[in-house]
Amino acid sequence: TRNASLQASQQQLQQNSNVASPESQLLLQREIERMTIDIQRMTQDAEADIAQLQQTLQIEFNERLFPALEQVGASKGLQFIFNVGEGGLVWANPALDVTADVIEALDAGQVP
């Protein structure tokens, strides 16, 4: 892997620092810097890809979730449904929790 190559080059630089010529040390240092930059770029690219995938999945989930929320809210005559996980609700009667109904509607594919 690239990390292993980088570590090997760093180890080589440390081990040969007393016997290698300044020119070869400089070349090896430049190679280490290049590998470090490459690894950083690959990491940033991977993180950006993951963030994009998370956003895409969240959008797709919301496209399924909101119709289910509307369906359950309408069938129960609700005016509001709060997301407890986001801290938007201080107290609620547990009997009014429609989370299981929404999950059931999503699982049953009863929404567009």
CB 96 within 8 A of CB 82: no
Give the whole-angstrom CA distance, residue 47 versus residue 52.
9
Query: What pLDDT does residue 9 have?
Result: 85
Packing angle between helix 2-15 and helix 22-75, nearest 10 degrees? 150
77 torsion bin: left (phi>0), alpha (psi -120 to 50), beta (else): left
Give the sign of the dihedral formed by CA 27, CA 31, CA 33, CA 34: positive
Domain ranges of the chain: 2-108
pLDDT tens per residue across span 26-60? 888 898 899 999 999 999 999 999 999 999 999 99
Asked whether residue 90 carries a pLDDT value surpassing 70, the answer given is no
pTM of the model: 0.62
The two structure tokens encoding residue 97: 């929790």
